[in-house]
Structure 1
């Protein structure tokens, strides 16, 4: 057995070089051709049924509007029924023939099963599932007083996606449907104070990479890895490290987002839906975040050093002393880098009222 491992250690590097040199250019050319074919034959979702979790605000809300403008039937889930009803009414005004709203906590498997069953019983089919529900935290792991307070991050981000997908797969197989799953650029970029969130998104990515193999051509999967996008999270809403309750702290948001430019939520949602209808496997938005993946592979030490320099403070210093926030405050760049909604000191009681184009 040791001889086998020794042999593989010797032949793997040159074999990999050979593949990169001769097969990768051909593969890239094929992918380019396929992307143009998919662009020309974009899926028409008029009359199809799209299920979206976390649809009461942010990316989920605007994905609902993008599908509505294309004439899709919608099934929307979130924990806040009042906000969900407003999104549903707006989606109808924007072109959706019918919208089903179900108050759902995706961290509870029975809620997820009920949502899937209600959708299928009501519409008689299921074509797309958008796993969007998510929550974050902003705290160093060693500062968390009770680590179980952050369990809900994994319960919502990872297990909520698992439950929804597992119950939906039989119906998606029937329609050769699609799954859209919201991971994050933090699944590869080690952003401090978001360790459990980052881990949940990395788990989501690997789960759906595996499901590509298990489901084969029966169900297409689009894996989305956004950067900082206009949403309640970037407005400063997160799980508190002390009591595990949801709070809003925009000073802490400034520490985390800092000098990174945020993307407008409408643009993000449009990119996600367009890419899904073109059967793209991966979507990173804004697109420039994709280069950080290659930075992480090629020079991880530099990535780790820069993240530590921007986020980590010296012993005894408050988080407000982080370089990320100091640069933001000194330059006044917030007015340029942040979307207008992120400058509002209060998170609105209702979703944004987006009008049809």
Structure 2
């Protein structure tokens, strides 16, 4: 699609073994990029890495890592550079939270889980990847959420982490623009295995949700979400930075 401009480049995708992250990994691998995927489940990582390598004939490094652990993140960056000698794009997708729990029912541990796995992880990865992104004039793609944009019920800690990521991303876009690094944010609404299960368990609620989306469907993680990530990492998006893109089929309409 992009005339091999991403071929051989190195892309880190946190939470890249399944769901949206794996869709993004597939989109980059299809363009010929070499991939680093992180996650907590070693088996999922190994299976995802093997499948990506076999299907797209690219090099894939699966590294078990907790993004909220500063030393673990430093290790991911070091192993990436050792393997590929460069970092061209960083996609901060991974996030854990106590979704469905009202604000007043959150414990500090619940809130910490969202902040460490989301906001701190994004901060650690961005900070540690910066020297290498500066060399390649690379890209950062951070994931936020409509939960923060629109105040979704039961999503207080998740929304707090995601809005923190959005604010940090805008500052990074301003600070890093002079180095040729663009930093953007995506708020996705995508079909995932978890959403598939929810669809089966609550078909009526699923239909209502679909009817509230102007395009009447959820995004495909690879073609819809991954496709936009590939665009943001390409030369075509080199003048785009500091923006939040709501990939929600029109349900994210806002001024």
TM-score by length of 2: 0.84
Partner of 2:64: 103
Cα RMSD (Å) of the superposition? 2.5
1:82-121 aligned at under 5 Å gives the runs 82-121=43-82
Gapped regions of structure 2 (runs ≥ 5): none
2:119·2:165 contact (CA, 8 Å) conserved in 1? yes
Partner of 1:265: 221
How far does the alpha carbon of each residue in 1:250-277 deviate from its partner, in whole angstroms, 9 at most, with x for none? 66xx69x955553232322223323432
90, 96, 101: which one aligns with 1:139: 101
Gapped regions of structure 1 (runs ≥ 5): 1-38, 238-249, 295-357
How far does the alpha carbon of each residue in 1:194-251 deviate from its partner, in whole angstroms, 9 at most, with x for none? 011111111000001001111123211121111x3112553579xxxxxxxxxxxx66
Say whether residues 1:213 and 2:174 are aligned partners: yes
Say whether residues 1:285 and 2:254 are aligned partners: no
Q: Counterparts of 1:75 and 1:62 in 2: how far apart (Å)?
A: 13
Change (3 A) 1:43 1:169: farther
2:12·2:90 contact (CA, 8 Å) conserved in 1? yes
Say whether residues 1:171 and 2:127 are aligned partners: no
1:135·1:233 contact (CA, 8 Å) conserved in 2? no
2:21·2:221 contact (CA, 8 Å) conserved in 1? no
Q: Counterparts of 2:104 and 2:116 in 1: how far apart (Å)?
A: 20
How far does the alpha carbon of each residue in 1:150-181 deviate from its partner, in whole angstroms, 9 at most, with x for none? 32111111111111111000111011111111
Larger Rg: 1
Asked which structure has the greater RCO (Cα within 8 Å, sep 6+), the reply is 2
Tell me how far 1:74 sits from its aligned partner: 1.0
TM-score by length of 1: 0.61
Q: Counterparts of 1:64 and 1:169 in 2: how far apart (Å)?
A: 21
Change (3 A) 1:147 1:235: farther
> How many residues are paired up?
238
Tell me how far 1:135 sits from its aligned partner: 2.0
Partner of 2:41: 80
Partner of 1:222: 184
1:1-357 aligned at under 5 Å gives the runs 44-136=5-97, 137-144=99-106, 146-218=107-179, 219-226=181-188, 228-232=189-193, 234=195, 258=209, 260=212, 261-266=217-222, 267-277=224-234, 278-279=236-237, 280-281=240-241, 282=243, 283-291=245-253, 293-294=254-255
